[in-house]
Amino acid sequence: MFELNEYLRSLPQDYKANHAFKEWLHCEADMDMKRAIVKSVEERIERIVGHRDIQLPHIDEKNWNVLKALIKVRQTTLDALMIPTADEVERMSRLNGQLLTLTRQLYAKVAELWKVMNDSGHHLDDDYCVEGVIKYRWDEDRPAMTLDNDSWYASDFNYMLWVLSEFDQRDTHTMSCIHEILQDFSMTEEEARKELIDTYDDGDTWTDGSLNRPAFKDINVCYVLHALCCHFHYALADVLRMNGFTLAVHVAYDHIYK
């Protein structure tokens, strides 16, 4: 028989225990219990991390592993709490469209800067490249959006989006950005133009993981939305409350000295 308190007390757990938790969560736990888990887990996260600051404090390896396990429990539980409302489906569809537009802008801006630098007459060897990224990071000017059904999830979204965005910047097993393009100057303009085409969003949907549910079946999920929900530690409810993304493009020089 699954014992929730023992499972949470013994985090991080092995695969078998984690699987048992997910089975119990989906088959036995009611909504009130799920909300209680979210609240309890977030309280433990705050005890480890402390109050919101510029960045996460130093956290030793043992507590970091506990923090990571708690974050995963929170993500799983929040996703289990979501029964998408019409408003949430509309918000997800709108966000997907915004992220697809942002992706197209990313490729266009990288191609534009690449051409400017390539035509500049400067000698650009293989150590130079144009780098473009899409990132999400919480800050004071872009706090989590407040939605009408916040109380359904029992989460402190503003605090947790700060924790998660900082956690993902530091965690060695998480990507540092949602989407990244690197294009060097080793090829012709025609070859570079072919490389700078978004082959991720070719018309096939990226609907999988937590996004794979009937309510979202009409959304042709773009790669960036998929990455947010499947490659990071954000629950679907977190993603719907994100307030602004960053697109950055610049020339980078990276030379390895031997």
pLDDT higher than 80, residue 218 = yes
pLDDT at residue 57, rounded to an integer: 86
Q: Could you say which of 81, 107, 133 is where a domain stops?
A: 81
Is residue 74 in a domain? yes
Domain match, 73 and 91 both = no
Mean pLDDT of 167-171: 84
* Distance between CA atoms of residues 159 and 66, nearest Å: 18
pLDDT band, residue 136 (cuts 50/70/90):
very high
Is residue 177 in a domain? yes
Is residue 94 in a domain? yes
Q: Could you say which of 81, 102, 123 is where a domain stops?
A: 81
Domain match, 185 and 147 both = yes
Mean pLDDT of 9-29: 93
Residues in the chain: 258
Is residue 19 in a domain? yes
Domain match, 109 and 204 both = yes
248 vs 55 pLDDT, higher one: 248
pLDDT at residue 59, rounded to an integer: 92
pLDDT in tens, 178-216: 999 999 998 888 998 898 999 999 999 999 899 999 999
Is residue 57 in a domain? yes
pLDDT at residue 246, rounded to an integer: 93
Listed in sequence order, the residues at least 6 apart from 239 whose beta carbon sits closer than 8 Å to its beta carbon are: 92, 95, 225, 228, 229
Q: Which of 66, 50, 88 is nearest to 58 (CA)?
A: 50
Mean pLDDT of 101-121: 94
pLDDT band, residue 31 (cuts 50/70/90):
very high
pLDDT at residue 1, rounded to an integer: 79
Q: Could you say which of 81, 108, 140 is where a domain stops?
A: 81
pLDDT at residue 172, rounded to an integer: 65
pLDDT at residue 173, rounded to an integer: 65
- Percent of the chain past pLDDT 70, that is, above it, reads 98
Residue whose pair of structure tokens reads 């197209």 in the numeric block = 104
Is residue 258 in a domain? no
pLDDT at residue 174, rounded to an integer: 67
- Residue 248 phi/psi, 5° resolution? -130, 135
The total of structural domains in the chain comes to 2
pLDDT at residue 169, rounded to an integer: 82
* Distance between CA atoms of residues 178 and 200, nearest Å: 13
pLDDT at residue 105, rounded to an integer: 97
Mean pLDDT of 41-68: 92
Domain match, 203 and 249 both = yes
Residue whose pair of structure tokens reads 């780098």 in the numeric block = 131
Domain match, 91 and 42 both = no
Give this prediction's pTM.
0.91
Domain match, 45 and 162 both = no
Domain match, 203 and 188 both = yes
pLDDT at residue 207, rounded to an integer: 93
Domain match, 22 and 123 both = no
Q: Which of 76, 72, 99, 96 is nearest to 216 (CA)?
A: 96
Domain match, 223 and 180 both = yes
* Distance between CA atoms of residues 110 and 133, nearest Å: 9
Q: Do 224 and 106 contact (CB within 8 A), yes or no?
A: no
| Residue 158, domain extent | 86-253
156 token code pair:
């402190």
pLDDT band, residue 95 (cuts 50/70/90):
very high
Q: Do 19 and 38 contact (CB within 8 A), yes or no?
A: no
Domain match, 130 and 169 both = yes
Domain match, 103 and 76 both = no
pLDDT, averaged across the chain: 93
Is residue 59 in a domain? yes
Poorest-pLDDT segment among 6-10, 106-110, 122-126: 122-126
Domain match, 22 and 64 both = yes
